[in-house]
Structure 1
């Protein structure tokens, strides 16, 4: 069994339709900033129910563009969860603002609403909540806090495209929602991301920001038979190519069936782990979990991690509390500020979860927990 093929914790699944979609763009007149970008943005909007989509070259870029559009700047504070990928809080630093870390609930590892409240100050301007592992946050409670304190609300839903909260698709529950299309996510564009919103002003700000701060794009100039353009603010080159958007559009057509498969895999895991030494995270009854990750807690995590890697099982850990990274320690953050997150970090492990898996793969994984 130890000689069996490596089973990664996540990976892309590319079929002939995806390959043909990319080839079609390679044979077209546009490789970037062409019609495929708008088509992909519209498709994501139709899928999520959002009005405006802004495609960018990573989920990180989407977070940065979102905070820029919301006016986050030096002297501001933004509350973020302690358990997340560093990009969530890095985007705050990119704007010159300060990330303030809130603790997480022990059963889901989602941001703790009471911890948010305890960390709000006169400098707080926004909350970024993460739909960790694909499980939607308590968006009703988050919106109530944001409204109470007049704060902007960003959904870092890089784990959760297709997830639902109280029968509502993730994508319209915050001022801006961001997605990632990295290869381990539900659908991929290679690298890529998107921010969606119902606010036309925020959308226009993000569009300019992704293209050097230039407000009028090349298509509008061609339409107007004009060459003149102005850079109105400092932006970035965060554009996503037509090649990538064609791949994303093709992948999106398969997303719903892939979400069903991820939930089926989760249901296979659950009973097989019941009598073992690992406990899966809780899933609330009022959500549809997208299961980007399948995370368990175990008291013997480090020992199991090594044994499973030696057995060609690509387990991983998501994540070290962000403020424990050396860079954040150099900024003055202290250990102990989020005890639930730190305790969870010592116990959590992500098991393989991707749509190419079979029940035999699940059996390979769970035998380590007997």
Structure 2
């Protein structure tokens, strides 16, 4: 066990009570709590439509499908992301085209490299708001408009994060969120697809549940006694047990993010005296979810980074790497391209502990430990 883990679950008796209440209601599949979760999420993000799903991977899959991505279409995406972002492209037999990040200071996808990678086969762009920090959406939406491309926002890291006054996930055609156990909002497994398009919303609801024109809860409430199947859909539903946890988590999210902002400020104040590191997004002024706390080692190597991580682990500090570069995985060898900044970051980034229960004393211990090791 680590003295300071990478993250800590923001659960208490409220989540326990919510689960028990659903079980006692005897409706545990997709039903009233899922609808409440969706409506509450839409209100927080100021978006028209939200659809709760089994996880964010299937949200990304549906997002690409509903905007019209088909076999052999090209989708420009980052490599510095969790592999699910890119796997969703392969589900449709489309072709992932990797773009580099902006810099060691800004780990989001480069608009300049996006535009350089556009071909006649390009159909969509997936952006990933790294750590809850916004991509340059103004430039990306301009590129998309000029080239008639769809934009999918992978906002897994960014619930309530903002860009020019808008919530991340609400700027492109579709936004996708994750509620995996280590995310800011956690339901164990789960995801949400958001959009301001009624057409895309209706198609998502249809595909979420086998292409059926009505779901069991709607029929149980007497809204419909029969259904048709009009498209080959999927079983991508979220159940009411997880949705009930999600409703409680949404009540906690604002306070959680405000605490994370204070923790990040403490990290930056202490880390900025270390010459050997870069703090990505150090000068960010937008409200952020602060999902992770990355640092990048200067003039370093993969071996040096791993040695430092091992020593921090021996001092009781759990760290991680967000992320191994996807374009270097064996499954994507046919799509390999040179991404020099992504390569350096993937080899030399360390993710430090970040969660709302982290104390300022613990932050000081982590930074002092880094100073000793370096």
Aligned to 2:47: 50
Aligned to 1:333: 335
Shift of the alpha carbon at 1:64? 0.8
Shift of the alpha carbon at 1:322? 0.6
1:257 equivalent to 2:258? Answer no
Shift of the alpha carbon at 1:226? 4.5
Show CA shifts across 1:309-333 (max 9, x none): 222211000111111011112xx13
Aligned to 1:344: 345
Query: CA 1:269/1:87 → structure 2, altered by over 3 Å: closer, same or farther?
Result: same
Aligned to 1:199: 197
Aligned to 1:103: 100
Q: Secondary structure at the match of 1:257?
A: helix
Show CA shifts across 1:113-132 (max 9, x none): 00000111111111010000
Shift of the alpha carbon at 1:5? 4.4
Q: How does 1:84-95 map to 2 (within 5 A)?
A: 84-95=81-92
Computed over aligned residues only, the root mean square deviation of the Cα atoms, in angstroms, reads: 1.5
Shift of the alpha carbon at 1:170? 1.9
Q: Is the 8 A contact 2:176 2:192 kept in 1?
A: yes
Aligned mate of 2:170, from 161, 169, 172: 172
The TM-score, its normalising length taken from structure 1, stands at 0.95
Aligned to 1:246: 244
Q: Is the 8 A contact 2:2 2:318 kept in 1?
A: no
Shift of the alpha carbon at 1:167? 2.1
Name the CA distance, whole Å, in 2 between partners of 1:234 and 1:201: 17
Aligned to 1:24: 21
Query: CA 1:272/1:285 → structure 2, altered by over 3 Å: closer, same or farther?
Result: closer
Ranges in structure 2 where 5+ consecutive residues have no aligned partner? none
Q: Is the 8 A contact 2:106 2:281 kept in 1?
A: yes
Show CA shifts across 1:210-234 (max 9, x none): 1122232224434556443222222
Aligned to 2:320: 316
Shift of the alpha carbon at 1:105? 1.0
Show CA shifts across 1:18-65 (max 9, x none): 211111111102101110000000000000011111100111111111
Name the CA distance, whole Å, in 2 between partners of 1:68 and 1:10: 33
Q: Is the 8 A contact 1:11 1:185 kept in 2?
A: no
Show CA shifts across 1:52-81 (max 9, x none): 111001111111111111121102111001
Shift of the alpha carbon at 1:96? 1.2
Q: Is the 8 A contact 1:81 1:128 kept in 2?
A: yes
Name the CA distance, whole Å, in 2 between partners of 1:11 and 1:359: 15
Q: Is the 8 A contact 2:295 2:350 kept in 1?
A: yes
Name the CA distance, whole Å, in 2 between partners of 1:136 and 1:304: 29
Q: Secondary structure at the match of 1:287?
A: coil
Matched pairs, number: 364
Aligned to 1:355: 356
Aligned mate of 1:228, from 207, 226, 229: 226
Shift of the alpha carbon at 1:171? 3.2
Name the CA distance, whole Å, in 1 between partners of 2:288 and 2:369: 25
Q: Secondary structure at the match of 2:25?
A: coil
Q: Secondary structure at the match of 1:195?
A: strand
Q: Secondary structure at the match of 1:254?
A: helix
The TM-score, its normalising length taken from structure 2, stands at 0.94
Name the CA distance, whole Å, in 1 between partners of 2:2 and 2:215: 48
Aligned mate of 1:74, from 71, 76, 89: 71
Aligned mate of 1:305, from 304, 309, 321: 309
